[in-house]
């Protein structure tokens, strides 16, 4: 496979996954290859490969004889995703705090600063940068667990986070000061190398976010 083909395939994968996560491709929608070909400027073979990859990750449903669909959403699915995220992310956070060096600390400080600046913008009522806000939120949560020393754990967490994010984007509401304080408390506990406290705040943060999203569905 040529380098150009790999690049096109990766770009197509990222675009379709983005559009599923951010609700541009709506839950339950059929992913017709001809429509996707025109929309994403990709060949049918590239699209099939991309959709099969997304199906293996749970972002696309592949139904025999019927084709590809955007997965439906449900309170039960979201609850399962959130509980799995608690299990993985809290474990990764404790490991990361135990292993993190000064470079990890510096990256965490920078990630929290970027997120906090965006949160202040959100608190002021400006919701125009929701994708930037969620990107900074992801970067902060990743920075917290980056030093867990497990590629498999980081990969699984990334997939779960994106599935959780899809629900948040479908019913976008902002928890405001409560979420800001939870991020601050996690940040300070991590820098103080208090893994138990950081994990406790993280679990509360995820479960409160779950409750908030369920109420908005």
SS3 27: coil
Residue 198 is predicted with a pLDDT of 98
pLDDT of residue 8: 61
Supply the pLDDT for residue 2.
45
> Residue 128 has what pLDDT?
78
Q: What is the pLDDT of residue 65?
A: 77
Distance CA 10, CA 12 (A): 5
As a whole number of angstroms, the distance between CA 172 and CA 53 comes to 27
Q: Are 23 and 166 in contact (CB under 8 A)?
A: yes
| Spatial CA neighbour of 196 closest among 207, 181, 208, 186 | 186
Q: Which helix (H) or strand (E) holds 67?
A: strand 67-69
- Decide: 32 and 66 in contact? Cβ < 8 Å: no
**Structure-token match 């970027």, residue found:** 114
List the chain pLDDT tens, one digit each, 217 residues. 444 555 666 789 999 999 999 999 999 999 999 999 999 999 999 999 999 999 999 999 998 878 999 999 999 999 999 999 999 999 999 999 999 999 999 999 999 999 999 999 988 888 778 889 889 999 999 999 999 999 999 999 999 999 999 998 888 767 889 999 999 999 999 999 999 999 999 999 999 999 999 998 8
State the pLDDT at residue 126.
Answer: 82
Given its phi and psi angles, is residue 57 left (phi above 0), alpha (psi -120 to 50 degrees) or beta?
alpha
In this predicted structure, what is the pLDDT of residue 7?
64
């Amino acid at each position: 496979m040529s380098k150009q083909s790999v690049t096109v395939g990766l770009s197509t994968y990222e675009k379709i996954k983005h559009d599923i996560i951010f609700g541009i491709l709506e839950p339950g929608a059929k992913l017709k290859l001809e429509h996707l070909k025109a929309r994403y400027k990709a060949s049918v073979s590239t699209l099939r490969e991309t959709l099969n990859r997304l199906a293996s990750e749970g972002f696309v449903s592949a139904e025999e004889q019927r084709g590809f669909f955007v997965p439906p959403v449900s309170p039960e699915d979201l609850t399962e995703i959130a509980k799995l995220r608690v299990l993985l992310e809290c474990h990764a956070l404790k490991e990361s705090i135990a292993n993190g060096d000064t470079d990890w600390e510096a990256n965490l400080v920078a990630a929290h600063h970027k997120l906090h600046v965006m949160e202040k913008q959100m608190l002021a009522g400006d919701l125009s940068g929701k994708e930037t806000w969620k990107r900074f939120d992801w970067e902060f949560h990743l920075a917290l667990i980056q030093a867990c020393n497990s590629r498999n754990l980081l990969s699984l967490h990334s997939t779960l986070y994106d599935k959780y994010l899809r629900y948040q984007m479908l019913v976008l509401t902002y928890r405001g000061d409560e979420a800001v304080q939870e991020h601050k408390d996690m940040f300070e506990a991590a820098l103080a190398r208090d893994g138990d406290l950081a994990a406790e705040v993280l679990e509360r943060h995820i479960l409160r976010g779950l409750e908030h999203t369920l109420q908005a569905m």
